[in-house]
Amino acid sequence: MIQVTADDRSLLSDLRNFMEPVEVLEPNGEIVGLFVPTNLERGKRLYDEKGSDIDWAEIERRAAEETGQGRKLYEIFEHFKTLTTDPMVLADLQQRIERLRAEDGCATREALQNLDSLGNS
């Protein structure tokens, strides 16, 4: 279920945008109550219209075709480094890259992968 935090500035304008029930929370996270829009049918109609635009066969085809073509997160961060000249951002990216590379080669991860491959054979 969607949750929205109540404050003095934006609750009413936020609630007008929802088309389904929403839990209303206090800033400290306590539940105040449940807001249910009066026109639930409008939301259902919009969801049905948008859902009919989805080509599930195309999604399945792409998922099958693109399997294994991903990149590791540290490789993506390395690409990000080519997009900036900010020294602080570059340093932050480098720290992340080093941490991810270390995790990628750690013995625990390799052991888990080996166990997983034994279970699949």
pLDDT tens digits for range 15-55: 777 878 889 888 888 888 988 888 778 778 877 777 778 88
Same domain membership, residue 29 and residue 7:
yes
25 and 60, same domain (yes or no) = yes
Number of structural domains found in the chain: 2
Confidence category of residue 112, pLDDT binned at 50, 70, 90: low
Query: pLDDT tier at 108 (50, 70, 90 boundaries)?
Result: low
Please tell me whether residues 52 and 35 are part of one structural domain.
yes
The tokens of 64 are what? 């099958």
Q: Do residues 24 and 33 make contact, with C-beta atoms less than 8 angstroms apart?
A: yes
Per-range mean pLDDT, top range of 31-40, 75-84, 96-105:
75-84
Give the separation between CA 76 and CA 49, rounded to whole angstroms.
36
User: Helix 87-104 and helix 73-81: axis angle, to 10°?
Assistant: 160
Whole-angstrom CA distances from 3 to 11, 27, 31 are: 11, 12, 9
Q: Are residues 10 and 59 in the same domain?
A: yes
Residues 94 and 61 in one domain: no
- pLDDT computed for residue 5 by the predictor: 74
- In this prediction the pTM is 0.37
Domain span including residue 105? 73-119
Following CA atoms 69, 75, 77, 80 in sequence, which dihedral angle do they give, to the nearest 10 degrees? -80
> How is residue 98 annotated by DSSP?
H
